């Protein structure tokens, strides 16, 4: 059969499909499926296998645990008046690597911080390799906010607390201070650091890579505020004692001084003033001498204020009748190549006369006739040479040498207050035994819930007789007349003791003292006044320390609403 060809051209058939096409398609599909499989596998590994590690790495870069500062406990006086409180402050810090180098922004930052631009640039340069530096510590929230309102990158805040002392220099040595991190450094702030500090808390926060807070997530542990401390101090009496002490130190151009006032019924310290002092709220130009609480830390030879205590041992011995008379003529005596002197020849003196005239001869003759070391034994029972155990940092024990192979001159010296050393607090504590029917009360810087039991150290009858004898030393005709308090009966003893230095006793340098009890009919307070190195013609205890005692005790009795006591005669 023939096929018709149109136009003279024969038609062509299409070429058959190449066998390679199916292989190429399968290969591409396999590659795509393999890639998807690897991707899925990687996703599974990241979300299942490596999830804990990656989550930890991410949290390490964004989640932070920040401390929550604990509020330091308040210190108050016995009536609840604040003596030390903590106020919120803001510390500004920076990441030097994030602070812009723009001079305009840096100038604004420097002015807001109260700094010179050159100083700020130098600090940023010094810490350039670090991620943290302080800009200003403990600013008020308002001052810190003015800096933060500039919105300068790399500048952040940190909330803290700062200690403030409302009474300022009046209670400085007793309370002590905290450092910039709110940690106690001196005084009661140091002694009760762990009790006052509390326990900081913790919170979990989310921050960006520059350390800026994004969101608070949760509180891990609440901050536990510090405990509150209630002192035995009466702020009213403290102000008054400090004012009178400061005036006396200035009047006599003295090196310093101390006033210690104790409750005769409880042993609580109602006032403890020191000079020189300092302002704990502003320590610029601080005099290092003002840091010491001299009333507890410093010791000195007490001199004649020890005579009533030695007299108690003499009266307890039973070797002398109460009306004994001692011949102190000619006003001096030689013992072991030492000469003991009175100011003048007082002749024949009874016990009251020996204390009133402050006769070294009379005391020495009585003590040297004792069979046993009764005087140092009583001194030891009264707390001399031992710690007062107030818990105050650096409290002194004083010195009371053991009576081993003592010479007669050493025995005699003890009776008129030489050869031992004591602090003003120890001396006041010893006098509580006379005021409290022969029972010594341990001194306390904290308010007590109830009076503690006293330690019997002096016979009750002897303590009563001695109080009356000491009252005879504070009369209009005696050297202690300036210690008298209008409307109240006072018992006490003056003291004037030479100061010691590296080479022995210092020429023309003295300490003036007065230790007393009031009112005699019902003792309420025991007070010790010590003025260190008064200059001028007046340096005797009766002329320098006794007037301070009169003003301090008179004001205290009125503030405590103690009624005038009845006259004994």
Is the pLDDT reported for residue 99 higher than 50? yes
Q: Which residues are catalytic?
A: 304
What are the residues facing 497 on neighbouring strands? 511
- For residue 382, give the 3-state DSSP assignment: coil
Is the pLDDT reported for residue 126 higher than 50? yes
Is the pLDDT reported for residue 55 higher than 70? no
Average pLDDT over residues 427-456: 95
Res 28: pLDDT: 84
- Read off the pTM: 0.83
313-324: pLDDT as tens digits: 999 998 999 899
Q: In this structure, what token pair is assigned to residue 289?
A: 């001498």
Res 10: pLDDT: 52
Res 504: pLDDT: 82
387-434: pLDDT as tens digits: 999 999 999 999 998 876 678 888 899 999 999 999 999 999 999 999
Res 1: pLDDT: 45
Instruction: Identify each DSSP E strand in 71-222 by its residue range.
Output: 75-76, 82-94, 133-139, 155-164, 201-207, 213-221
Rounded to whole angstroms, the Cα distance separating 169 from 187 reads 13
Buried b (16+ CB within 10 A) or exposed e, 241-271: bbebbbebbeebebbbbbbbbbbbbbbbbbb
Determine what percent of the chain falls in helix, strand and coil, rounding each to the nearest 5. Answer: 35, 25, 40
- For residue 45, give the 3-state DSSP assignment: helix
**Percent of the chain scored above 90 by pLDDT?**
60
Is the pLDDT reported for residue 56 higher than 60? no
In this structure, are residues 324 and 375 in contact, taking their beta carbons and an 8 Å threshold? no
Of residues 315 and 63, more confidently modeled: 315
Please list, in sequence order, all residues whose beta carbon lies within 8 angstroms of the beta carbon of residue 492, skipping any fewer than 6 positions away.
470, 473, 474, 480, 483, 514, 515, 516, 517, 546, 549
22-52: pLDDT as tens digits: 787 788 888 888 888 788 877 777 677 666 6
145-184: pLDDT as tens digits: 999 989 898 888 888 889 999 999 999 999 999 988 889 9
Distances (CA, A) of 405 to 347, 410, 411: 32, 10, 10
Band (pLDDT 50/70/90 cuts) for residue 5 is: very low
Please count the CA atoms within 13 angstroms of the CA of 94 that sit on its side-chain side. Answer: 28
* Least reliable range by pLDDT among 11-15, 220-224, 424-428: 11-15
Tracing tokens 């001052």 back to the chain, one arrives at 143
104-123: pLDDT as tens digits: 888 999 999 988 999 998 99
Band (pLDDT 50/70/90 cuts) for residue 69 is: confident
Res 23: pLDDT: 80
H or E stretch covering 507? strand 504-518
CB atoms within 10 A of CB 403: 15
Average pLDDT over residues 200-218: 67
Res 20: pLDDT: 57
Is the pLDDT reported for residue 569 higher than 50? no
Res 222: pLDDT: 79
Distances (CA, A) of 178 to 158, 167, 192, 288: 19, 15, 11, 16
Q: In this structure, what token pair is assigned to residue 139?
A: 């600013």
Res 24: pLDDT: 79
Average pLDDT over residues 2-9: 48
Rounded to whole angstroms, the Cα distance separating 94 from 132 reads 6
Q: In this structure, what token pair is assigned to residue 421?
A: 């050393």
Res 18: pLDDT: 52
Res 563: pLDDT: 93
Res 223: pLDDT: 74
Q: Is 424 exposed, middle or buried (CB count within 10 Å of its CB: 0-12, 13-18, 19+)?
A: buried
284-326: pLDDT as tens digits: 777 788 889 999 999 999 999 999 999 999 999 989 998 999 9
Rounded to whole angstroms, the Cα distance separating 92 from 557 reads 50
Res 258: pLDDT: 98
Q: What is the CA radius of gyration of the chain?
A: 41
75-96: pLDDT as tens digits: 999 999 999 999 889 999 888 8
**Percent of the chain scored above 70 by pLDDT?**
89
Distances (CA, A) of 231 to 188, 221, 278, 437, 440: 10, 31, 20, 26, 21
Q: In this structure, what token pair is assigned to residue 210?
A: 């520059």
Q: In this structure, what token pair is assigned to residue 329?
A: 């003529």
Beta strands 75-76 and 229-230, pairing class: parallel
Band (pLDDT 50/70/90 cuts) for residue 207 is: low
Q: In this structure, what token pair is assigned to residue 204?
A: 């979990």
Res 427: pLDDT: 97
* Least reliable range by pLDDT among 203-212, 264-273, 438-447, 544-553: 203-212
Res 246: pLDDT: 97
Average pLDDT over the chain, rounded to an integer: 88
Res 568: pLDDT: 46
């Amino acid at each position: 059969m023939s096929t018709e060809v149109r136009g003279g051209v024969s038609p062509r058939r299409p070429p058959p499909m190449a066998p390679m096409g199916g292989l190429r398609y399968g290969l591409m599909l396999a590659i795509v499926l393999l890639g998807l499989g690897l991707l899925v596998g990687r996703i599974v590994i990241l979300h299942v296998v490596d999830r804990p590690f990656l989550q930890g790495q991410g949290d390490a870069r964004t989640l932070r645990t920040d401390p929550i500062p604990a509020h330091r406990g308040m210190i108050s006086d016995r009536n609840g008046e604040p003596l030390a409180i903590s106020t919120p402050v803001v510390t500004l810090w920076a990441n030097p690597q994030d602070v812009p180098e723009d001079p305009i922004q840096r100038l604004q930052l420097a002015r807001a911080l109260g700094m010179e631009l050159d100083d700020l640039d130098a600090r940023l340069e010094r810490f350039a390799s670090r991620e943290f530096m302080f800009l200003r510590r403990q600013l008020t929230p308002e001052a810190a906010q003015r800096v933060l309102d500039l919105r300068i990158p790399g500048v952040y805040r940190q909330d803290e607390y700062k200690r403030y002392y409302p009474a300022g220099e009046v209670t400085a040595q007793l309370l002590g201070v905290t450092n910039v991190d709110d940690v106690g450094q001196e005084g009661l702030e140091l002694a009760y650091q762990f009790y006052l500090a509390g326990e900081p808390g913790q919170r979990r926060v989310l921050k960006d890579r520059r350390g800026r807070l994004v969101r608070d997530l949760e509180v891990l542990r609440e901050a536990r505020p510090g405990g509150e401390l209630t002192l035995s101090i009466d702020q009213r009496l403290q102000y008054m004692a400090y004012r009178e002490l400061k005036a006396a130190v200035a009047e006599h151009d003295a090196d310093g001084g101390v006033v210690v006032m104790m409750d005769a019924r409880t042993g609580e310290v109602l006032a403890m003033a020191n000079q020189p002092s300092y302002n704990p709220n502003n320590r610029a130009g601080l005099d290092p001498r003002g840091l010491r609480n001299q009333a507890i830390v410093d010791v000195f030879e007490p001199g004649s204020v020890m005579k009533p205590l030695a007299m108690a041992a003499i009266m307890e011995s039973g070797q002398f009748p109460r009306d004994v008379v001692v011949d102190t003529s000619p006003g001096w005596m030689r013992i072991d190549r030492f000469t003991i002197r009175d100011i003048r020849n007082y002749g024949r003196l009874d016990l009251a006369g020996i204390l009133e005239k402050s006769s070294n001869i009379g005391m020495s003759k009585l003590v040297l006739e004792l069979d046993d070391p009764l005087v140092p034994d009583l001194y030891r029972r009264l707390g001399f040479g031992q710690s007062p155990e107030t818990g105050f940092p650096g409290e002194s024990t004083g010195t009371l040498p053991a009576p081993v192979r003592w010479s007669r001159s050493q025995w005699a010296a003890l009776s008129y207050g030489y050869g031992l050393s004591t602090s003003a607090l120890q001396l006041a504590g010893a006098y509580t035994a006379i005021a409290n029917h022969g029972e010594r009360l341990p001194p306390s810087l904290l308010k007590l819930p109830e009076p503690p039991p006293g330690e019997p150290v002096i016979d009750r009858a002897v303590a009563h007789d001695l109080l009356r004898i000491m009252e005879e030393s504070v009369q209009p005709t005696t050297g202690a007349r300036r210690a008298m308090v209008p409307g109240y009966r006072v018992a006490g003893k003056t003291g004037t003791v030479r100061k010691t230095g590296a080479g022995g006793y210092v020429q023309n340098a003295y300490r003036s003292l007065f230790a007393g009890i009031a009112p005699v009919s019902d003792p309420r307070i025991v007070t010790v006044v010590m003025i260190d190195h008064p200059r001028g013609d007046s340096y005797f205890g009766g002329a320098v320390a006794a007037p301070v005692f009169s003003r301090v005790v008179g004001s205290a009795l009125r503030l405590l609403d103690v009624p005038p006591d009845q006259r004994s005669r």
